[in-house]
Copies of this chain bind each other. A is one copy, B any other.
Amino acid sequence: MAQGVRGTRDFYPDDMRVRNWLFERFHSAARAHGFEEYDAPVLESEELYTRKAGEEIVGQLYNFEDKGGRRVALRPEMTPSLARMVMARAGALALPIKWYSIPQCWRYERTQRGRGREHYQWNVDIWGMDGVAADAELLSVLVHFFESVGLGSGDLVIRISSRKVLEEVLGSLGIEGETFAATCVIVDKMDKLPADVVEAQLADLGLGADAISRIRAVLGLTDLDALSSALGEGSAAVAELGALFALCDAYGISDWLAFDASVVRGLAYYTGPVFEAHDRAGALRAICGGGRYDKLIGTLGGKDLPATGFGFGDMVVMELLAEKGLLPDLASGVEDVVFGMGAELRGAAMQVAGRLRSGGRSVDLVLEDKRMKWVFKHAERCGAARLVMVMPDEWAEGKVRIKDLGTGEESAVPIEDL
């Protein structure tokens, strides 16, 4: 018997209602902040992703050769597609642009760990703006979303740092450019991999034991003053983070935020502020993550343009919402169930349904000969508000019988009043 591809999900109507509920809140938070929706194909050229920094996302590419011999991939993330789109209209777009999307993203792991191979990822990005005001705006979008689903700052925290922190530490050790990006990818895994594995990987990049212990010390900081002491008075990282937290104060979202130098993010292309949200209990993987990536277009052969954004998967937040009892119990959306008593009133029931539908109601018309008992059970299962019955006596008088399924009241209503 035919089965779905391993690691993919089907969305039956029950699941789809919850997905739509979540996505509608993604849309709302983005639109409240004036972001416009865009989309790109799920299939892209492989070369869009083949960076050399050892990222997990590149190693797990769902890639293949098409019938024309081209190397293509199901996108693992949206940002490179967005960069491609911005490049293609370079000069023609009025900057800054504030765009969002909810693409499905794919990965392929050979090892099976019960993890999915696809998820949806809300992406929100600002291009063409230097400065932390753009990053603060993104954080405001996040908080708006969290509040809209009933989560509070007691449930989760958005941890913030900057790639400039590591840049300054590594720069003082003479590590820059591609090696810097590769180091960030490794350092991001520091608390997930055994110490000797991480140290061996860093040693491969030319970092000795002293450098590693200096990185560990700075990454342990969760206080901007301590960071300032560690990096020195003129630190650009400290100045940037100070300005970002000050702006977030003006937004009134400081309760949701914390400085945490251990936030690095696992993608190679970040250049400035980086952040990720975690449940306060620390039981789940990151809920979302993002940051500034001012040099991505350059790596794709275009002219650099400042950019910042985040990706927000649909899976972890659903776990958190379920755990907190915040998932809604959603009905089918059907408002009226229309039922014609007997085959000779089938046509009349169609007329009634048509009239209600033209008026904007969501109407389920019972299309078969069914017993009254089935119809009542069906209306209840749909969560319908009303049962509209086309019966011989009432129809002869130009009326239908309507039962309010909330109150149980029944009345005969003239057809022209529907």
Contacts and interface: CB of A to CB of B under 8 A. Distances in A.
A194 interface: no
A74 interface: yes
Interface in A22-58: 31-34, 36-45, 47-48
Given A347-B250, A351-B252, A363-B33, A40 B11 contact: yes
A50 to B, nearest CB: 11
A382 B34 contact: yes
Given A11-B40, A300-B2, A34 B365 contact: yes
Nearest to A12: B38
A332 to B, nearest CB: 6
A383 B110 CA distance: 49
A99 B16 CA distance: 11
Contacts of A16: 36-39
Contacts of A62: 66
A334 interface: yes
A296 B280 CA distance: 50
A123 interface: no
A368 interface: yes
Contacts of A190: none
A104 B247 CA distance: 41
A64 B64 CA distance: 7
Contacts of A8: 41, 43
A129 B42 contact: no
B129 A5 contact: no
A216 B293 CA distance: 64
A8 B118 CA distance: 20
Contacts of A110: 67-68
A347 B247 contact: yes
A53 to B, nearest CB: 17
Contact of A2 (B43, B45, B72): B45
Nearest to A29: B357
A285 interface: no
Contacts of A295: none
Given A2-B87, A133-B367, A133-B368, 8 more contacts: A2-B45, A3-B45, A5-B72, A13-B36, A34-B364, A34-B365, A64-B65, A250-B350
The 6 closest A-B pairs by CB, nearest first: A34-B364, A250-B347, A8-B41, A13-B36, A11-B39, A133-B367
